[in-house]
Amino acid sequence: MELRELDPQDEQRVRAFVVATAGASPEAWSWTPARIDREWRSVWSTLQLPVATILAEDEGRILGMVCCTIVPVDREPGAVITNLCVTLPDRRRGIGRLLMLRAHDIARAAGARVAALQVAPTQQAAVQLYTALGYSPVKESEDTMVMDLSGTTN
């Protein structure tokens, strides 16, 4: 397995991956082809904005991805981690953790001292992963977690 940054030529393969992983969630089961196209245009434009979108691949098959965007936080760079997803058959193999670690490395290289993400409290596996990596819930928000990136290599 290799981790690499998104290339614009990846669009069709990433679209198929996103549609497949979104299709695993109950809220997406009723989506029409038109809705999938609308959602994809939104996702693809988002993937073009981050400092990095990282793909996990094995023999040309996308296993997972994550995005890392650098934003100002109290006049210093901070990272926002979004779109972490791993295919259902490839979950629980450490791919999400590897993607997050790469996102943290990219954030640190860009000068970020803190990282934030949003996760639904009902996504227990994701919350466990983020907690194991060092993220903590934000008291004012039920779905936001933050991590201090300075001095840690988690």
The structure's pTM equals: 0.79
- Terminal Cα-to-Cα distance of the chain (whole angstroms): 20
Tokens 């290799």 map to which residue? Answer: 2
Query: What single-letter amino acid sits at 107?
Result: A
At what angle are helices 11-22 and 33-47 packed, to 10 degrees?
A: 120
Domains (ranges, CATH) in the chain? 2-148 (3.40.630.30)
In terms of C-beta density within 10 A (0-12 exposed, 13-18 middle, 19 or more buried), how is residue 40 classed? middle
Q: In 3D, which of 105, 144, 120, 140 has the Cα closest to residue 25?
A: 120
pLDDT tens digits along 102-140: 999 999 998 999 999 988 888 888 999 999 999 998 877
pLDDT for 1 equals 92
DSSP class of 102: H
CA atoms of 42 and 141, how far apart (whole Å): 25
88-102 pLDDT, tens digit each? 899 999 999 999 999
